Amino acid sequence: MVRLLIVCLGNICRSPIAHGVLRERIAARGLDSRVSVDSCGTSSYHNGEQADPNTRRVAARRGVDIEWHRSRQLLDSDFYEFEVLIAMDGSNEADIRDRLPPNSDVVIRRYMEFVPGAPGPDMPDPYYGGASGFERVQDFVEAGADPLIDWALTLAADGSS
């Protein structure tokens, strides 16, 4: 089993939609016993809150249910309970690396590495970008979901991460 943790700042915009899309794609492909996914934020700003209303609206329009989601902060135990942490941008990646325990062998990657033709390494933060920003993030998340799952399966196949 390869366990993925999607990480953004507050766990209310980018990471919940990636969590929801990946969860549904993993289930649709019958891979629940081989890949799992969760999400969190590097901050505690929104702990216990649902995803941003714009995120939920865009997800629902595209048939992705994320009403179950509640924000949580990155925990020290996450560095041992997950094989892969997927950062949404460079700032989140830096925060993850700053907290990385020396004895953790977790793999850290960025989501946009898996998006074909990505315009850059960072998933844009839609929080201040209006409705179109949320649509754009959903597009990127959907485009990268299957490539990310396929990559995770290679880790599961060779027993490493």
Report all structural domains of the chain as residue ranges with CATH numbers, in order of start. Answer: 2-158 (3.40.50.2300)
Predicted pLDDT at 120: 96
At residue 130 the predicted structure's pLDDT band, cuts being 50, 70 and 90, is: confident
Please identify which of the residues 13, 14, 52, 95 carries the catalytic annotation.
14
Structure token digits, residue 62: 């595209």
Predicted pLDDT at 161: 45
Is residue 14 part of the annotated active site? The answer reads: yes
Is residue 98 part of the annotated active site? The answer reads: no
What is the pLDDT averaged over residues 136-148? Answer: 97
pLDDT one-digit tens code per residue, 27-64? 999 999 999 999 999 998 899 999 999 999 999 999 99
Q: Which helix (H) or strand (E) holds 129?
A: none
**Contacting residues for 112 by C-beta, under 8 A, at least 6 apart:** 118, 120, 121, 122, 123, 140, 144
C-alpha span between 154 and 128 (Å, rounded): 36
Judge whether residue 159 has pLDDT over 70: no
Please identify which of the residues 52, 78, 95, 125 carries the catalytic annotation.
125
Is residue 13 part of the annotated active site? The answer reads: no
Structure token digits, residue 29: 């492909």
What is the pLDDT averaged over residues 87-92? Answer: 98
